[in-house]
Amino acid sequence: MGNERIPVLEIFGPTVQGEGMVIGQKTMFVRTAGCDYRCAWCDSAFTWDGSASDDIRLMTAEEIVSELRSIGGRRFAHVTLSGGNPGLLKPLGGLIRLLHEQQIKVALETQGSRWQEWFIDVDELTLSPKPPSSQMATDWEVLDDMIERLRKNGSDYSLKVVVFDEADLQYALDTHQRYPDVPMYLQSGNASVTETDQEKLLEQLRSRYEWLIDQVMQSEQWKCVKVLPQLHAWVWGNKRGV
Amino acid sequence: MGNERIPVLEIFGPTVQGEGMVIGQKTMFVRTAGCDYRCAWCDSAFTWDGSASDDIRLMTAEEIVSELRSIGGRRFAHVTLSGGNPGLLKPLGGLIRLLHEQQIKVALETQGSRWQEWFIDVDELTLSPKPPSSQMATDWEVLDDMIERLRKNGSDYSLKVVVFDEADLQYALDTHQRYPDVPMYLQSGNASVTETDQEKLLEQLRSRYEWLIDQVMQSEQWKCVKVLPQLHAWVWGNKRGV
Ligand code: SF4
Ligand code: SF4
């Protein structure tokens, strides 16, 4: 049973989901520890860089559900599993089963570097491969295989690429053209993660989002795509746990 | 053929859709003239208050498609029909058929006061009944019937209520509880449609959105719901035609 435990860093909510295919959704968050990537601009590096290792709790699925209920009461019907890379954690399958038994839907985001059988049980799955600015390399064979399985299963899933610059946008386009039938989300990167002046941050986020919109609107190659900001950064700035 | 013409006020894009179920979507807009409502806070009153009546063009579906192509070129695969209330216009059915022939998807928003047979051809249909602050009254029988038809058809549709105050939020909850299986979107109202100072506007929109989030997050009655701002107002302020 020991290896059935899940390394958890944060449980909070309900709040709104700020990104991608579930943008705006009222949801609880469970943030797991550990990632196989080290993205240059990772906004949750504390999940893997050791800085929060004292806060990691090894919890069973039952303990997580009971903490979700003690924090969120009966005020939610949706849970988002995030990380780090929750796709590394085999025992999340059991957690998803427990949540479904309570009529709770589950969304999950992963960079798509590792397949788990329970991916097909996720109600809204976001695959977020990382563009060049992250300094990570995508394993396309793994992603091809993942998308093939999700497609066969009839899953509700999407691709989301965070875009900081032109090279990232080209990477996003290559990804879109490789999987033209998969719903595609572009998200403007938050280059101002250390900005604490709320007004300046809002204007920086706005102008990065507008830049991305302009690029995509002018292009014939981008036809069917959604372009979104990180909503929570607009509302709450760079605060954690909201 | 004369009555097959469509009263058009604006054709523009591509830009991003700022609201509801298609938020972030790259799309062209066709804004039709005429509305059977007079909402107190209507942000497109020029479509019905006579102030832009000289700009109305009576166009055939073919003319609209050809203008969409001349403005948007091959840079789009999605068109949003808005108003006013485009649900008043029988000949939009022909326009949707033409767009589908060119593999273009069609989204439409209406307050849901009038049924059209072609509603079942719309790819993403938003029904946006108006809350008390609009000073309009909802005809629930018409809406019941509309939702029944869309449900039977297996349409991709949703409800969206704009919320300015507590009474509006209660109206939204009543609507949600009347149609619990219909995807529900809440949108914070823009009470600052005359604000031209971009910084002030952003902060006002942010704080109204945060208020709405707080209300919904604290409530046990709101479980499965999406809460969104008007994205285009955040990006472009109160400018028209972007
Ligand atoms: S994959 Fe995600 S959690 Fe992992 S390093 Fe990159 S941004 Fe951070
Ligand atoms: S229904 Fe829409 S277009 Fe008509 S008056 Fe109300 S807000 Fe304006």
Percent of chain A with pLDDT strictly greater than 90? 86
With 0-12 CB in 10 A as exposed, 13-18 as middle and 19+ as buried, what is B239? exposed
Please state, as a whole number, how many other Cβ atoms lie within 10 Å of the Cβ of residue A135: 12
Measure the CA–CA gap between B233 and A4, rounded to whole angstroms: 47
Please state, as a whole number, how many other Cβ atoms lie within 10 Å of the Cβ of residue B119: 23
Q: Which residue lies with its CA nearest to atom 2 of ligand 1?
A: A84
Measure the CA–CA gap between A52 and A49, rounded to whole angstroms: 8
Is A223 in contact with B185 (Cβ distance < 8 A)? no
A204 residue type, one letter: Q
Structure tokens belonging to residue A163: 């875009």
Whether the link from the prior residue into B132 is cis, omega within 30° of 0, is: no
Helix residue ranges, H only, chain B: 61-72, 92-101, 140-153, 166-178, 198-218, 231-236
Is B213 in contact with A16 (Cβ distance < 8 A)? yes
In this model, does residue A191 exceed pLDDT 80? no
Q: What is the pLDDT of residue B1?
A: 41
CA of A95 to the centre of ligand 1 (A): 22
- Quickly state the pLDDT bin for A199 (edges 50, 70, 90): confident
Q: Are the C-beta atoms of A123 and A108 separated by less than 8 Å? A: no
Nearest to B18 by CA among B10, B9, B27: B27
Q: Ligand nearest B113 Cα, by number?
A: 2
Q: Which residue lies with its CA nearest to atom 8 of ligand 2?
A: B42
Q: What is the pLDDT of residue A239?
A: 66
Residue to substitute from B223, B225, B239, B242, interface A, most A β-carbons within 10 A: B223
Q: What is the pLDDT of residue B34?
A: 97
A225 CB neighbours in chain B (<8 A) are 25-26
Interface residue B185 vs chain A (CB under 8 A): yes
Structure tokens belonging to residue A208: 């990065």
Q: What is the pLDDT of residue B2?
A: 42
CB under 6 Å to ligand 2: residues? B 35, 37-39, 42, 44, 47, 83-85, 111, 130
| Model pLDDT for residues A200-242, shown as the tens digit of each residue | 888 888 889 999 999 999 999 999 999 999 998 888 876 666 5
Q: DSSP character for A127?
A: E
Among partner residues A25, A210, A224, which is closest to B77 by beta-carbon distance? A224
In this model, does residue A187 exceed pLDDT 60? yes
Higher per-residue confidence, A2 vs A120: A120
| Model pLDDT for residues A13-42, shown as the tens digit of each residue | 999 999 999 999 999 999 999 999 999 999
Give SS3 for A57. strand
Nearest to A159 by CA among A122, A123, A130: A130
Q: What is the pLDDT of residue A193?
A: 67
Range 14-33 of B in CB contact (< 8 A) with A: 14-16, 22-26
Measure the CA–CA gap between B148 and B220, rounded to whole angstroms: 27
CA of A36 to the centre of ligand 2 (A): 50
Residue to substitute from B231, B232, B236, interface A, most A β-carbons within 10 A: B231
Give SS3 for B46. helix
Pairing of strands B26-32, A157-163: unpaired
Percent of chain A with pLDDT strictly greater than 70? 96
Structure tokens belonging to residue A193: 């993660």
Among partner residues B74, B218, B235, which is closest to A210 by beta-carbon distance? B235
Using N-to-C axis directions, what is the helix angle for A166-178 and A198-218, rounded to 10°?
50
Q: Are the C-beta atoms of A208 and A227 separated by less than 8 Å? A: no
In this model, does residue A1 exceed pLDDT 60? no
Measure the CA–CA gap between B30 and B23, rounded to whole angstroms: 17
Find residue B59's DSSP bridge partners. B6
No. of helices (H) and no. of strands (E), chain B = 6, 9
| Model pLDDT for residues B142-152, shown as the tens digit of each residue | 999 999 999 99
Nearest to A99 by CA among A76, A71, A127, A129: A76
Q: How far is A51 from chain B (nearest CA, A)?
A: 30
For residue B102, give every residue at least 6 positions away whose Cβ sits within 8 Å of its Cβ, in sequence order, or none.
B65
Is B226 in contact with A23 (Cβ distance < 8 A)? yes
A217 CB neighbours in chain B (<8 A) are 13-16, 26, 75
Measure the CA–CA gap between A95 and A80, rounded to whole angstroms: 12
Q: What is the dihedral of CA A41, A43, A47, A52, to 10 degrees?
A: 110
Find residue B199's DSSP bridge partners. none
